[in-house]
Structure 1
Amino acid sequence: MADSPMQMEDDVSLETPANDVFLAPSINRELLLTGASYTHFSTVPPTLLPTSDPNSQSNDPPQPGPPCALGVDEAGRGPVLGPMVYGLFYLPLPLSDPLLRKTHHFDDSKVLTPTVRSNLMEKLCTPDSDLYTQCGWAVEVMSARDIGANMMKPTGTYNLNAQAMDATIALIQGVYKRGVNIKEIYIDTIGSPATYQKKLERVFPTAKITVAKKADSLYPCVSAASVCAKVTRDVALEVLYESYINKTDEEDGDGELSAAKVPEEASWGSGYPSDARCTSWLKRNVDPVFGWGSECRFSWGTAKDMLDLKNVAAKVEWPAEGDDDTIPLTDYFSAAKEKDTDELGSWFGHSVTTEIF
């Protein structure tokens, strides 16, 4: 059954960033504005790190930290604007339900309001919070530029599912490398849960792995991961949007941007093609040659179709292959050799006889 207009409006409103969204430490403005992808790991709580027994021999290996549950989820798979963000969250196994569900009421980020998501992320990053002292998290920010470039490779296409799988594996490996004792892994599926789970079990054989549909609603650590991913994407969208509203070709006498010259621009909303604010913004801000900036996924049908519209993008006519009027580029770099010519002898000219004199 298709979603009703009211349901679609509710979904868009929940996907739209809060006006005062918390500025998470996972935001790297410089990298976002250059269109680069990057990874951020929180500091591992000391209680989750391996410990050494003071009575043991100096050569004895340290004891592993408490067994932990780890969850992974993403935000922004479908938008045409902004990055896709993979979030990861881990904490001691016994705390997963009481701390996340009962105390702080984590849930799938799509059913939480933008303000609630922002507040939960702020608690997670506040040093005196029980979430900060007992949990860890990480995100992989996959830029729109890199997603599109990978999907549009002329050969060996790197599709979105493969990119997502590699991001998930890299995040989990990063937590293992930091010394956390991960025993259970829960992941919201990409495609077939069974196929995805078998591949991850080969990569991480020492952990119990569960891949399931709607894992962000079923497992608290996945819910928390979805909040980390969604709030990071929310702020990333705001940073990218601000780069547009602050653009101007004119400055005042002090070298500062003149407030009167800052263009007034309606919000681009959630970045989803179903959001009218997003598609309207794309139409108003398309460059006839370059389209949009690194915040746009050019591999998406929304962007492709818009660039194909008449009088929107500049038309480029490429020479047809095999056209007799077209000179191959290689002709400029290689000349046909004359028959019966001594290449070495004619390097500095041709030899002549006395008859010429």
Structure 2
Amino acid sequence: MELGDFERDNSCSRLLASPVPEECKREDCCLGIDEAGRGPVLGPMVYGICYCPVSRKKELEELKVADSKTLNESERERLFGKLNATTDFIGWALHILSPNVISTSMQQRAKYNLNALSHDTAIGLIQHALDTGVQLKEVFVDTVGPAEKYQEKLKHRFPELDVTVRPKADSLFPVVSAASICAKVARDRVVKGWKFLEDLGDIDMDYGSGYPNDPKTKDWLAKYLDPVFGYPQFVRFSWSTAQTILDRSAAPVVWPDEEEDGVPSKSQAVLSSYFTTQKEAVKPKRHRFFQERLLEPLSEL
């Protein structure tokens, strides 16, 4: 698992993949999807897929893969080593979603929530497997949101595949357990070796579990808040935990000329009235949809 490209620039997301076994290009294959790091306020979220021929499911199961959450770090590393070494019939791919990408995606003007981001990442990994020649037949997915709706969405996108979406799929289907292990090992390695792009000196990496309700994590967030520049990109600043601390402790920002929903402030309105013709003054207010997208009628360009 070569993480060098991501470590050199962890402000962007990265796709990593094993070579595709020749057997997976010839035989019908099953594929599992799972993620690691959905909930933490710190670090990336990693989506993983693992796949093998349908005819060799039993051999995958015999590797004793299990839901990564039930395993300790050394057990996960050992099992990933086995999966990665079984190059004749097992392949994997990972999409590492930078915390910076997660936060900016969720806070962009057009709403893009974590569920939508997760769905799109899973779809991208399925497409990646197809594009690299894997003969996919069956796909098993640990659900994000209502399982029925997610399954319907995937079936609509990939009508040729037999798609199964289930809660706790990582404990039901060995191929999803394998994907869970791949994703969790990658996240653990990335977090442990995180390279801060910001100049923070000798930073303390004892931040607890990274989950919002962990006192250690909260203390770390309070300690490394810069009142002007906020947080390093290791932090998902779109999480309410980070936002609460920012609102309470960061320097307030005031925009004197800020427009609220496209309506100028009072001082702007008074000043602009000196430069507005009577005809312009009575022009009906344009809908917010057009204002936010800076769209103008063709006749006024």
Task: Indicate the TM-score class for this superposition, using the shorter chain for normalisation.
Answer: 0.7 to 0.9
**How far did 1:30 drift?**
3.9
Distance 1:337 1:75, change over 3 A: closer
1:109 matched to which residue of 2? 68
- Contact 1:245/1:265 (8 A) holds in 2: no
Question: For 1:310-349, what aligned pairs fall within 5 Å after superposition?
Answer: 312-319=249-256, 325=267, 336=275
Q: Residue 243 of structure 1: which of 183, 196, 216 is its match?
A: 196
Percent identical pairs in the alignment equals 40
1:84 matched to which residue of 2? 45
Q: Distance in 1 between matches of 2:237 and 2:254?
A: 20
TM-score by length of 2: 0.82
2:112 matched to which residue of 1? 158
1:227 matched to which residue of 2? 181
**How far did 1:47 drift?**
2.4
Q: Distance in 2 between matches of 1:266 and 1:295?
A: 11
Check if 1:147 corresponds to 2:102: yes
**How far did 1:247 drift?**
4.7
Q: Distance in 1 between matches of 2:80 and 2:216?
A: 26
Check if 1:271 corresponds to 2:210: yes
Q: Distance in 2 between matches of 1:46 and 1:25?
A: 21
Question: For 1:173-212, what aligned pairs fall within 5 Å after superposition?
Answer: 173-212=127-166
Distance 1:115 1:244, change over 3 A: farther
Q: Distance in 1 between matches of 2:155 and 2:276?
A: 62
Check if 1:133 corresponds to 2:93: no
SS in 2 for 1:243: coil
Q: Distance in 2 between matches of 1:245 and 1:166?
A: 29
2:16 matched to which residue of 1? 40
Superimposed CA distance per residue, residues 221-278 of structure 1 (whole angstroms, 9 cap, x where no aligned partner): 00000011111111111222x5389953xxxxxxxxxxxxxx3625123321122222
Q: Distance in 2 between matches of 1:178 and 1:297?
A: 32
2:222 matched to which residue of 1? 283
Distance 1:270 1:32, change over 3 A: farther
**How far did 1:114 drift?**
1.0
**How far did 1:308 drift?**
1.5
Superimposed CA distance per residue, residues 161-219 of structure 1 (whole angstroms, 9 cap, x where no aligned partner): 11111111110011111111111100011111111111111111122110101100000
- Contact 1:78/1:272 (8 A) holds in 2: yes
Query: Over alpha carbons, which structure has the higher Rg?
Result: 1
Q: Residue 94 of structure 1: which of 55, 61, 80 is its match?
A: 55
- Contact 1:27/1:236 (8 A) holds in 2: no
Q: Distance in 2 between matches of 1:206 and 1:266?
A: 46
SS in 1 for 2:209: coil
TM-score by length of 1: 0.70
SS in 1 for 2:156: helix
1:343 matched to which residue of 2? none
Higher helix share: 2
- Contact 1:27/1:235 (8 A) holds in 2: no
Q: Distance in 1 between matches of 2:198 and 2:108?
A: 32
Q: Distance in 1 between matches of 2:83 and 2:9?
A: 22
1:293 matched to which residue of 2? 232
Greater displacement, 140-149 / 274-283: 274-283
